[in-house]
Each structure stands twice: as C-alpha cells, then as structure tokens.
Structure 1
C-alpha cells in the first residue's frame, strides 16, 4: 500500500503518542505527561503555530513531522522550522522520512516559505545520511539557556 502524508487527526492520538514516546526515548528525553498532553493539544489547536504531519502506511501512522511556520528577520517570507521528525524503527528504510521531507519541501514552494530548516544530533548518523541528500549542514552552533528548575 502506498505511503500517505497527511495532517494529523484527533483519532491519531494513540498512534502519535506511541511514536512520540519512541522519539523521546531515542533522544533520552524524559518529558512530563503534562508536556506531552500540551503538545498534543497545541497540535490540534487551529490557532497554534505547531503543525503535525503523519506518514501513514496500511492505514497506520508510522512517522511524524512537527513543524512551526514563523516570521523571521532575515527574509520577507515566513520560514518553516522542522522541530521533530520520527519514523517507527519497523518502518525505517522504506522512504518514510524522505516522503515527509519531500512533502515539506513541496509545501515550501507552494506556500512561499523562504526556507525549511532543521537540526539533529551530530551522532544521528541514520538521519544525517538522509538529511545530507536534501541540504548540507551549516556551521552554526546551537546555544540553549534554560530557566532554573523550581
């Protein structure tokens, strides 16, 4: 059955949560349940800037992409930040990640986004092998400032 890329639906919640858990486990991120619940709520909120695409195979979501389209100071058009991309390990190597990126690249052209950008961990060799087929990594270094734990 062909792969379908589509917007997430409320009925995808259980599948999304399974994939989200796999994504968080991959990055060894222990998120509180309230963060996951809030993320799901924002995904479904039409007024939220967060959008979620799912890749569906045989009627089941096997991957997702979370994106934020936003204004920026370096272009006149909005840009799209691909915040999270995850493919179920059982579906890897079947073109799921490529299909999600192709969908976003096509949307970039259709919607007039100035650019599509993302980052990944330097040691994520599997993802980087795919990403390098779309663009070359740049020389920017990420800095993160966090609020102290209360």
Structure 2
C-alpha cells in the first residue's frame, strides 16, 4: 500500500469513492460542491488537502483534512473531515494506514492536534478510531445557514 498526495489524474477514481462516501452518509452533495472540493484538494496553497491510499495500482481510500489555527494550541490543528475506504478492501488496514500517515505528517510538520468525528452508529469506523483514542464528551451542533435564514427573525427573537 502507498499513501500519497492526490494527482489530477486521480479525479475519476476519487469521484467514485466520494460517491460511495456520500451514499453511505445518505447526503446529496451538489456537483458544484464536489468539483470545488476536488479543486481545493489540488490547491497547494489552500488549507484543504487529501491523502490517497493506493493498493495494487488502484485507489483504495482517501482522507480529506483541513489545517487550521486554534485558540487552544500554538500550532495548527488538523481536522480529518472525510475518511473513506473502498468497500472491496475494507478490513485490509487502509483506514488505519491513512490515519497513521496523518500522524506522521503531524509530527513532521509540527501540528498540535489531529481530530475528527463520526456518526455515533458507525461501529466499524469507531472500532478503528478507538484503537487510536477514545471519543471525548463533546456534542456537535451544526446549523446549515440556509436553514437558519429560512427560520426567520421572529422565531430567533422569540427565544432570545
């Protein structure tokens, strides 16, 4: 297995896996956002980056992360936003290899923290993640701003 930076020639294989990833989480990511994500991955000056796992000359998985400053640490934090492994090679160490690769990059580049979240019911992923660290007690809140705007001022004013 080889873990490497993506190459523009990887787009079709990445899109195949990306489609499987979004299907797994039952979300519909618009094509424009998928295209933008791929362009962000390839932008060497942007905070979004990806690592590709390749087995036998085929892309077997990916990790997409965002590097950002933190108010709690001096060095950058790496948020592992998306990790996905082709279902045909699950159980062969691809997910762990991608996390291990990020940990090596963190050490090499001086990052202070690597963190991620997953669906509470994703037992397969959690079994892997629990080998690295235990889940913390934080609860995630997320407001898509399109929903917030539609919610309207009267409801916001009524509660606050």
The two structures share one fold, judged by TM-score above 0.5: yes
- 2:32 equivalent to 1:34: yes
Taking CA–CA contacts closer than 8 Å with sequence separation of 6 or more, which of the two structures ends up with the larger relative contact order?
Answer: 1
Q: Does 1:147 align with 2:148?
A: no
What pairs up with 1:126-141 in 2 under 5 angstroms?
A: 126-141=124-139
What CA distance in whole angstroms lies between the structure 1 residues aligned with 2:120 and 2:18? 21
Matched ranges for 1:69-108 at <5 A = 69-108=67-106
- Deviation, 1:148, is 2.3
Unaligned runs of 5+ in 2: 151-160
Determine the C-alpha separation between the residues in 2 that align with 1:145 and 1:30. 17
Q: Which structure has the larger Rg over C-alpha atoms?
A: 2
How far apart are 1:46 and its partner, in Å? Answer: 1.6
Which position in structure 2 is the counterpart of 1:53?
A: 51
Counterpart residue number, 2:155: none
Q: CA RMSD in A?
A: 1.0
In structure 1, the gaps of 5 or more residues are none
Scaled by the length of structure 2, the TM-score of the pair is 0.90
CA distances 1:35-92 after superposition (whole Å, capped 9, x unpaired): 1011111111122111010000011111000011111100101110000000000010
Q: Runs of at least 4 residues of structure 1 off by over 3 A?
A: none
Distance 1:8 1:119 in 2: 23
Please give the per-residue CA displacement for 1:5-57, whole angstroms capped at 9, x wherever unaligned.
00000000000000000000000011111110111111111221110100000
SS at match of 1:148: helix
TM-score normalized with structure 1 length: 0.96
* 2: CA distance, partners of 1:17 / 1:57: 17
Q: Secondary structure at the match of 2:27?
A: coil
